Structure 1
Amino acid sequence: MIRFLLPIGLFLSACGAAQTAAPELGTSSAIGTMVVGNKGEATVSFVDLASGEERARLETGDQPHEVAISPDGTRAAVVSYGGTTIDIFDVASATRTETIDLSPNARPHGIVWTNDNRLIATTEGSGTLTVVDLSDNDVEAVETGQDVSHMVVVSPDLSRAYVSNIGSGTATVIDLENGRKLRDLPVGAAAEGIALTPDGSELWVADRDGMKVTVFDTETFEIIAEIGVGLGPIRIAISPDGSRGFTSNYGDGTVTEIRGSDHRVTRVLSISDGVEAAQVTILFSEDGERLYVAETGTDTVAELDVASGEVLRRIDVGRQGDGLGISPVVIETD
């Protein structure tokens, strides 16, 4: 653990103290509910996107780092990174309906809810990728053979999963149809942020310590591009139309915009107030017009207007709000 946690400590000493920005007020045309895993207090927030108001806050398992929304938008899955479970919540009623135990697989983190009703999660503590069939809660796991398997994305045809491994500096390719590992792709010092283009043809992986993004062709596994970005790129989000991608740069509170057509950096936007904001997860709205940025150090989520690059508002959530999911469902009122 020392190996990959050390650079974050270096960010703190290198960047110095920063003042937390005051919340910006505003409303949004967005409709639906944002679900936020508050890893510092073992809760999940349900936020009405139109008003920015938190409508409910419920208990979860230990360290709810990441969130996945069901394909129909009605449910949210929240991992317990400090344990072995995944909690399922009904969004409309903001209630926990089920807890799934993944044992002996441990420390679930990155998670995807697939269109065929499976949960696919990295289980970092056991060095596995765990697959849960929600029709019968059958649990199967594939060993990654890598160190600190942290985040996961799944191809549009559901045939493959790609896992970023921080400690090994690689991305693992897993055949989901046959439940076996195919290969490891070298990325750099600390592979963490990971994303697929909407058509599944390109895999983007961020080297957090190397301050770069490597783009792979998913047919040949050849490197298409290597792109220098900001300090500590910890997450990647690609727009729904594939025209652009953003890295969340933990070390300086910026996001770097990369054009999808030629992999060139087009903008660097200052979103959060330096490293003390602890900017982590980023997530596009379904229409691609907004980018939501989790600021775990200030217990807020910034809403960015993608076209203008302006922060429209900051939404208050629980302590160290990190994992984000957006549902089109609006929470029921009394």
Structure 2
Amino acid sequence: MRTILNFLATAWIVSGILLVGARSLRAEPFVYVPLGSESKIAVIDAAKDQIIGIIDGLQAVHGLAGTPDGRFLIAGSYSERSVDIKPAKPKGISEDEHAAHHKASSVQTENSDIASVSTVSVIQISEGEVIRTIDVPGAVHHVSVSPDGRYTAVTRPNESEISVIDLTNFEIVGNISTGEFPNYSVFSPDSERLFVSNAGDSTISTINSKNWNVEKVIPVGMSPEHIVLSKDGKTLFVNNVDDGTVSVVDTKSMQETNTMKLGSVLHGIDLSEDGTALFVAALGDDKIAKVDLASGSLQTAELSPAPYHLATITETGKIYVSSSDETKIWVVDQKSLELLGQITIDGKGHQMVVMPGS
């Protein structure tokens, strides 16, 4: 599989141009939006709210995360294939390396009856190409990367596991059972702990990254999915999709300290740039909600239909919100929740990644 970065007519269309070179000519940040069944990632210039490129060839890409150094994207596929079928070799690696990462044993599981796998792809942003692919058992939903850049974690809901991959050698260091239907994960700022939401049994798991053991499992609301961690790592905010609440969890004691009722069915969640406000996509109510974390005051704005994934766009004062029902992303003001515009995309926008400007 070779992934190709296609610049649109409005961008710099030069044979062999590198995205890193284009960065010096365009405003940052860039936002990378996986488009699910369209099997590609849209590249958006957030200063202009315009698509400037497309990364093609990523089968059913839902989960996406970026490395802290801004060099790579880690993409997870929700499409499964037989363990006996190898994907095409990425450019720049040998046949031996490729075979080593895609033989049946590369899934590194004690289960000998693994029949299907999916591909985790490492994309070099400057080239817009996949440089490594790693097989994991079953489909991947969401992706996270540790702040130190060492590890990526991918959730595999159908197997009730996550896989952790060492980005220094692209090897799986563990397939870890966390709970029923793990959905989302986030690392602590010191990279020493990993928090995972388990939608199937309404729990949050805490994993020690020194030995990859599950240290604690706590109950939260119904069907926790998207989660976000405060910058200081002290507070975890958990979207409980089915009961329309957000659980506030103290990460030191791993105790739920507050529950906020925000709507009927929820989905995306993120914090403001300064960490003083929480944004939540209330999909079932066609609204976006903003909670002032100091006062607890709630502000809402209508956003229809079906606000879905949500991301705070650093250095811009904006939020991007995708729609579950339409092929677009809304651009929303962080302070007022005023609708500033929208971006038409080719598919449904999933786990958005913001690469901040330098």
Deviation at 1:145, TM superposition (A): 4.2
Deviation at 1:232, TM superposition (A): 1.0
Equivalent residues of 1:68, 1:111 under 8 A apart: yes
Q: Does 1:91 align with 2:125?
A: yes
Q: Does 1:33 align with 2:30?
A: yes
- Secondary structure class of the residue paired with 1:82: coil
1:71 alignment partner in structure 2: 68
CA RMSD after TM alignment: 2.1
Equivalent residues of 2:319, 2:334 under 8 A apart: yes
Deviation at 1:270, TM superposition (A): 1.5
Question: In structure 2, what is the Cα distance between the partners aligned to 1:74 and 1:46?
Answer: 15
Question: In structure 1, what is the Cα distance between the partners aligned to 2:160 and 2:52?
Answer: 36
Which of residues 268, 271, 280 in structure 1 aligns to 2:300?
268
Deviation at 1:99, TM superposition (A): 3.8
Q: Which runs of 4+ in 1 moved over 4 A?
A: none
Question: In structure 2, what is the Cα distance between the partners aligned to 1:92 and 1:284?
Answer: 23
Question: In structure 1, what is the Cα distance between the partners aligned to 2:297 and 2:63?
Answer: 27
User: CA separation of 1:202/1:135 partners in 2, compared to 1, >3 Å: closer, same or farther?
Assistant: same
Question: In structure 2, what is the Cα distance between the partners aligned to 1:149 and 1:288?
Answer: 32
Q: Does 1:299 align with 2:327?
A: yes
Question: In structure 2, what is the Cα distance between the partners aligned to 1:101 and 1:88?
Answer: 8
Equivalent residues of 1:74, 1:329 under 8 A apart: no
Equivalent residues of 1:124, 1:150 under 8 A apart: yes
Q: Does 1:110 align with 2:142?
A: yes
Question: In structure 2, what is the Cα distance between the partners aligned to 1:328 and 1:92?
Answer: 15
Which of residues 314, 317, 325 in structure 1 aligns to 2:342?
314
Equivalent residues of 1:60, 1:87 under 8 A apart: no
Equivalent residues of 2:207, 2:216 under 8 A apart: yes
| Equivalence map 1:153-168=2 (5 Å) | 153-168=186-201
Question: In structure 2, what is the Cα distance between the partners aligned to 1:260 and 1:82?
Answer: 38
User: CA separation of 1:252/1:164 partners in 2, compared to 1, >3 Å: closer, same or farther?
Assistant: same
Question: In structure 2, what is the Cα distance between the partners aligned to 1:186 and 1:30?
Answer: 43
Q: Does 1:51 align with 2:51?
A: no
- Secondary structure class of the residue paired with 1:115: coil
Identity of aligned residues (%): 21
Q: Does 1:204 align with 2:237?
A: yes
Question: In structure 2, what is the Cα distance between the partners aligned to 1:100 and 1:59?
Answer: 15
Stretches of structure 2 lacking an aligned partner (at least 5 in a row):
1-25, 81-117
Q: Which moved more, 1:216-225 or 1:58-67?
A: 58-67
Q: Which moved more, 1:290-299 or 1:51-60?
A: 51-60
TM-score for the superposition, normalised by structure 1:
0.82
Question: In structure 2, what is the Cα distance between the partners aligned to 1:177 and 1:240?
Answer: 30
1:7 alignment partner in structure 2: none
Q: Which has the higher contact order (CA 8 A, sep 6+)?
A: 1
Structure showing greater Rg: 2
Question: In structure 1, what is the Cα distance between the partners aligned to 2:195 and 2:322?
Answer: 23
2:269 alignment partner in structure 1: 236
